Structures are given as C-alpha cells and as structure tokens.
Structure 1
Amino acid sequence: MSAPELVRVGPDEWETFRDVRLASLADAPGAFGALHADWVDASEQRWRSRLTDVPFTIVATSDGRGVGVVSGAQSDDHVELISMWVAPDHRGTGLAGRLISSVADWASTQGHDTFLMVRDDNARAITAYEKAGFVDLGVPEDWPVDALRERRMRRSGRDRRTDPRVSGVS
C-alpha cells in the first residue's frame, strides 16, 4: 500500500469530499456532531457550502478512494480541528498524524493555536493527538452531566512540530 496523497479540497471538489465524509459518518456514527442520515441526501449546494464555510479541508486518497479527511474551522483567535477520520484499513499507518499536522501547520502559518474536542472514550484518537503535539486540557467544567464526555485539546501555533515524514499537501 502506497502512502495516501493529501489534497486540499474546496467547493469544486465537493463530490470527493462527499464520498469520504459519508464513509466517515457511516463508520463512526458517534464520533461526529452530524449523522449519516443528516447528509446522505444533501444537495450539491449544501456540500459546496460546507466546503466554503469551513475554509480548510484535506482529503487523503489512495487508489482512487478517500481514506481520510480532516478540516480546520477558523475563528477570530484560533483554528478548530474538526471532522477527523481515517478509514479502518489505514489506521496505524501514520495517516492520522499527517492529517492532524496539516490542520495544525495551516493554523500555525496564521499564528493561531489549534484546538479540538475528542470523545473521552476514544483513547486511540487522544494518543494520536498527543503524538502530534496536542496537550489534553480535560473535560470542560461546564460539560453537561448527561452528555457523552469530550476532552478539549490544544496545540500551540508557536510549536510547529512538523513531522519530517509528512509530505506536503497539494
């Protein structure tokens, strides 16, 4: 298996994004704020709008199929890493680290820190984020008692811990 190619996608690549996003929602329904049913019949315009509203999205492709995705949503003072997913057959290959670094490095070029939320019970994801230089800030104090717990994590934009194995994003 060759290393997947990382490609930044925008509204014109909505079909590429749609395919990998639907795969991620089907594979890990509890990991995202959206459900497969919310997006499976979405219009072209809705997909294009998602890629306009969230300015940084990377799709990893291998043998013509999407095998990973991650996005960076920009706020006034930081970037939020969202929608992170790696296909089951590509987990443990270093692809997660490449995707994570693509967002954190993009944020760093703008002088921003990167933040994310991850389910408290997703030890594999927490480990991947820590390997990429994120610090676990814990469950926010105001987290609802009856909700699945999520941890807040942060990577400083000043750290620029770019992994030398990470290839550039085209």
Structure 2
Amino acid sequence: MEITRIAAGDWEQFRAVRLASLSEAPGAFGSRHADWVDAPAERWRSRLTQVPLTLLAHEDGTLLGVVSGQPADETWVELISMWVVPEARGTGLAGQLIGAVVDWAAAQDKSTYLMVRSDNVRARRAYERVGFVDAGVPEWWPADEPPEHRMELRG
C-alpha cells in the first residue's frame, strides 16, 4: 500500500475516489455526489489547487482512500474529506492517512482538527484511536444541520 500526494494534474484519480466516497457515504460529507458528478475538469483541478494537501492511498493500481488537509488559521490545520473504501476499513489505513495529515500540520508547527458527524461512530472511533479528543459540537453549529463534533489533536 502506498500513500501519495497529488496535484491538479491528478484530477482524474481524485475524481474517481471522491465520487466513490460521496456515493458510498453520502451523509459523511458536506458535499453531495450530485454537486460533483458532472463537474468539469477545471473544477476538479481547482479543488486540488485550493486545498494544499490531498493524499491518495492505493495498492496495485486500486484506489483505497483519500484525505485532505488545509490550513485553518495560524495554529490549526483542518483534516477534511477523509474516506477509506469499505474493504480496507479496519486495516489501519485510516490511521496512516490521518497520520500523514497530522505530520504535514506538525511540519508547519500547527495542530490538527476535524469535524465529524455525531452519528458517524466508526469515523469518530478511528480518530480517537490516533489521539483526537472530542471538543463537542461548536456553539455556532446551525440548529437545522446534523450535528458535527470538532475533534482535536494538539501538538
């Protein structure tokens, strides 16, 4: 298994894994499959340019997972768009992807946080296993949206 950093030129690989994630776990993301399925190549390239870190996990040409990281402010990096194919869950791959974002943040002297839906128990457990702590649902979270917890890993 290999984890590689991708850029705008790798948009087709990103498109494949992102659409798979949005289709397989529609409630886990802020975006919807319908928002992206017909997106032009330029939108995919732009996403990979605007978000400075996107990593793909693959083995023997098969995409197994994806995760991204983006600076939130002077002290925090937000881990976003985390997904692992169902067949690779429970193998430690999620921890490796999370660790790669945490290492990227630490290299910038930043801590890492993420937002995860309250009902996504499996993801919350994966984050807890690598040391993230539940900081609760932010008080600014919209009442008409499914609640998301902020989880933090302080460096």
Query: Which bracket does the TM-score occupy, shorter chain normalised?
Result: over 0.9
> CA-to-partner distance for each residue in 1:67-102, whole Å, 9 max, x for gaps?
100000113321110000000000000000001111
| 1:113 has 2:130 as partner | no
RMSD of the alignment, in Å? Answer: 1.0
> CA-to-partner distance for each residue in 1:18-55, whole Å, 9 max, x for gaps?
11111101100111111111111111111110000000
Structure 1 regions of 5+ residues with no counterpart? 159-170
Q: Which residue of 2 aligns with 1:150?
A: 148
Q: Which of 102, 105, 114 is the matching residue for 1:104?
A: 102
TM-superposed CA distance for 1:140, in Å, is 1.2
Letter in 1 for 2:143: V
SS at match of 2:55: strand
Q: Which residue of 2 aligns with 1:22?
A: 19
**Structure with greater helix percent:** 2
The percent of aligned pairs where both chains have the same amino acid is: 60
SS at match of 1:110: coil
- Would you identify which runs of 4 or more consecutive aligned residues in structure 1 move more than 6 Å? none
Instruction: Give TM-score, length-normalised by structure 2.
Output: 0.96
Letter in 2 for 1:150: E
Between 58-67 and 17-26, report the one with greater CA deviation: 58-67
Instruction: Give TM-score, length-normalised by structure 1.
Output: 0.87
TM-superposed CA distance for 1:65, in Å, is 1.9
TM-superposed CA distance for 1:142, in Å, is 2.5
Q: Which residue of 2 aligns with 1:139?
A: 137
Structure 2 regions of 5+ residues with no counterpart? none
